[in-house]
């Protein structure tokens, strides 16, 4: 299985709205918001541990950037603490519902900003010292950005769309999300490896870990909802520089055949060759594209700038036929929604990533890696010390600093309706 390349992607826009508990009547927000002002103040006064645990006085993202790995043997303990604090907040009435009043941003004055302040205070993103005024000032802006970072949203300080949707997910739903993910964290291997890689699928993120410290973090592009990246434990044992891409039969059937029906020059323009079982190259004109005849042939894309695997592929043993790789479609790393592949994982800043993997492999320093990529030469390198790889599905977790992170349950495995908006 391989990641679907950008030129195979089709623009299919889908929007999945939060249902059930997260859908609240807009006409009810005002009364609830006013009623909870005193409740929130009581919680902040009575639960000082809550305030400290969520770093209410921390400016901006000061506590969000950490060298500690997201997942360690202690993560389950941090999550239990977060669950208890959220349960305390739920018992006191939860947090307020923020109504949709159009896009909110710094410099605005509105009664809804006062409600927004209450919500940010309750979640631990805004220092309560400033009160609940109607001014969207720099403190609110920093708090919104902090909230966005904790939820995997571009930190632009704008309140609307996905940010508003995440603000209005009830605390009771968040508790259940944490509980579902606590079970997943507890099921992880007790020893991830002194030197290891974690791919967190719903976060579309990768961490390389050395000892108890993160060496590097990378955005990832992972599997679509209908072509999901699997959960697994393995080790990266080989890298392929300037690789060929052999198109999986599933992509031939679902993508290549329809594309060839529309544009007979498609394979030629994308440097994809056809071979029969005897290894003989065929002309695209020799194939009947109105049938499934093409599925009996091998399709291979030559190395180069438009190769779907980019400049390097990283192999690990698994039953799913997936791997990690570079991509020519690097623009996807700039999106909040990074679920575009056919199961494989595309790695942002792949040269730093692969140089870390090959750190202990003689003859493969960063300059040597850059040189072989620039040469275009097809080279396979076995990793001297295979690096443990853990591909996990964790969409809620807590850090040693008390920060609670949430991501959409993109594959709907929690059953809470938190799959979030989707797009091609």
- So what's the pLDDT on residue 256? 92
pTM of the model: 0.82
Strand order in the sheet with 298-301: 245-246, 298-301, 272-275, 281-282
Enter the tokens of residue 38.
Answer: 């005193």
**Whole-number Å distance between alpha carbons of 222 and 339:** 5
The candidate with the shortest Cα–Cα distance to 232, out of 199, 193, 202, is 199
Within 10 A of 188 (CB to CB), how many other CB atoms are there? Answer: 18
- So what's the pLDDT on residue 229? 97
Tens digits of pLDDT across the chain (424 residues): 544 444 344 333 333 333 333 333 333 333 344 334 333 333 333 333 333 333 333 333 435 677 899 999 899 999 999 999 999 999 999 999 999 999 999 999 999 999 999 999 999 999 998 788 999 999 999 999 999 999 999 999 999 999 999 999 999 999 999 999 999 999 999 999 999 999 999 999 999 999 889 999 999 999 999 999 999 999 999 999 999 999 988 889 889 999 999 999 999 999 999 999 999 999 999 999 999 999 999 999 999 888 999 999 999 999 999 999 999 888 888 888 999 998 999 999 999 999 999 999 999 999 999 999 999 999 999 999 999 999 999 999 999 989 999 999 999 999 998 988 766 4
């Amino acid at each position: 299985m391989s990641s679907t390349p950008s030129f195979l992607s089709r623009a299919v826009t889908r929007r999945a709205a939060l249902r059930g508990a997260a859908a609240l009547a807009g006409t009810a927000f005002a009364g609830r918001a006013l009623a909870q002002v005193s409740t929130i103040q009581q919680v902040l006064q009575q639960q000082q541990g809550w305030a400290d645990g969520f770093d209410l006085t921390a400016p901006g993202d000061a506590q969000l950037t950490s060298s500690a790995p997201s997942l360690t043997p202690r993560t389950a303990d941090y999550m239990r603490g977060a669950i208890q604090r959220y349960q305390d907040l739920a018992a006191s009435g939860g947090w307020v519902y923020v109504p949709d009043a159009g896009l909110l941003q710094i410099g605005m004055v509105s009664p809804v900003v006062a409600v927004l302040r209450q919500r940010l205070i309750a979640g631990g993103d805004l220092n309560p010292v400033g009160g609940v005024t109607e001014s969207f000032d720099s403190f609110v802006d920093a708090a919104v950005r902090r909230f966005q970072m904790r939820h995997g949203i571009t930190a632009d300080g704008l309140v609307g769309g996905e940010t508003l949707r995440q603000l209005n997910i009830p605390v009771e739903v968040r508790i259940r999300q944490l509980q579902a993910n606590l079970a997943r964290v507890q099921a992880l291997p007790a020893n991830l490896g002194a030197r290891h890689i974690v791919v967190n699928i719903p976060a579309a993120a990768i961490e390389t870990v050395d000892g108890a410290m993160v060496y590097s973090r990378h955005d990832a592009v992972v599997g679509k909802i209908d072509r999901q990246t699997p959960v697994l434990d393995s080790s990266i044992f080989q890298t392929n520089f300037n690789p060929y891409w052999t198109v999986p039969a599933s992509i031939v059937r679902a993508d290549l055949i329809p594309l060839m029906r529309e544009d007979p020059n498609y394979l030629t323009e994308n440097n994809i060759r056809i071979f029969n079982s005897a290894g003989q190259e065929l002309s695209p004109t020799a194939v009947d594209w109105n049938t499934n005849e093409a599925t009996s042939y091998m399709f291979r894309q030559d190395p180069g700038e438009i190769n779907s695997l980019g400049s390097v592929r990283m192999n690990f043993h698994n039953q799913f036929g997936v791997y990690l790789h570079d991509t020519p479609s690097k623009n996807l790393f700039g999106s909040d929604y990074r679920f575009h592949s056919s199961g494989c994982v595309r790695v942002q800043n792949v040269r730093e990533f692969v140089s870390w993997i090959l750190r202990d492999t003689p003859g493969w320093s960063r300059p040597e890696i850059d040189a072989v990529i620039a040469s275009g030469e097809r080279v396979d390198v076995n990793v001297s010390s295979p690096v443990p790889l853990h591909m996990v599905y964790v969409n809620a977790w807590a850090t040693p600093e008390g920060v609670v992170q949430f991501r959409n349950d993109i594959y709907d495995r929690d059953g809470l309706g938190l799959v979030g908006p989707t797009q091609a």
